[in-house]
């Protein structure tokens, strides 16, 4: 997974998965991506960084269940819109955390939980019922996709277990485009 340089083969696979060609009206353009990055103090990881301005900024086709959100959007079922998001601060987790099962894992669990929802990630989309897919944009897990729900957070990709999917945004898209269940590892 190269999060600093877009792979043309990955971009071609992403275009095919979403059924779009270069220059689609839904592509955001580089000027808007640079403005988003400057506003939030981040550099989006590749290949997502090139995908948004050149391929599409959101889509109703494919996955997650309710489509791919535009880079700056949040799902309707996200909850408290009053919380301040700070994409430049890293996601505070390095491993899965099911807070309902281990509320005493962190001394300041409520503060960590708020950071999980609001720091270091953009929301790619939702499968409904507060099951949101996040692309990590800051910190040690930059470039990886996490499923963050109302009961826990878990990284996605074969190196984390649970799935045979490749890493990052491209691996996540290729996995659903192949019609595989999200968590298909035995």
Q: Tell me whether residue 96 is exposed, middle or buried, using C-beta atoms within 10 angstroms of its C-beta: 0 to 12, 13 to 18, 19 or more.
A: middle
- Residue pLDDT, tens place only, 122-165: 999 988 888 999 999 999 999 999 999 988 999 999 999 889 99
- Mean pLDDT over residues 68-84, rounded? 75
CB 18 within 8 A of CB 26: no
Provide the pLDDT for residue 26. 83
pTM exceeds 0.85 for this model: yes
CATH fold for domain 8-177: SMI1/KNR4-like (3.40.1580)
Q: What residue segments make up the domains of the chain, in order of their start?
A: 8-177
Cα separation, 28 vs 71, in Å, equals 9
Cα separation, 99 vs 95, in Å, equals 12
- Residue pLDDT, tens place only, 155-180: 999 999 889 999 999 999 999 899 99
Percent of residues in the chain assigned helix, strand, coil, to nearest 5? 30, 15, 60
């Amino acid at each position: 997974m190269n999060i600093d340089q877009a792979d043309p083969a990955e971009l071609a696979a992403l275009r095919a998965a979403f059924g779009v060609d270069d220059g689609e009206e839904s592509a955001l353009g580089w000027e808007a991506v640079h403005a988003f990055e400057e506003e939030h103090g981040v550099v989006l990881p590749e290949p997502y960084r090139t995908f948004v301005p050149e391929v599409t900024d959101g889509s109703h086709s494919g996955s997650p269940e309710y489509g791919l959100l535009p880079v700056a959007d949040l799902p309707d079922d996200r909850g408290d819109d009053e919380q301040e998001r700070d994409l430049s601060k890293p996601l505070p987790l390095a491993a899965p955390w099911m807070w309902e099962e281990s509320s005493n894992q962190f001394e300041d669990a409520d503060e960590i939980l708020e950071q999980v929802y609001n720091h270091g990630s953009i929301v790619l989309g939702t499968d409904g019922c507060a099951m949101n897919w996040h692309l990590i944009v800051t910190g040690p897990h930059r470039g990886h996709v996490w499923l963050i729900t109302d009961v826990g957070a878990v990284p996605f990709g074969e190196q984390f277990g649970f799935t045979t999917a490749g890493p990052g945004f491209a691996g996540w898209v290729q996995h659903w485009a192949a019609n595989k269940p999200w968590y298909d590892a035995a």
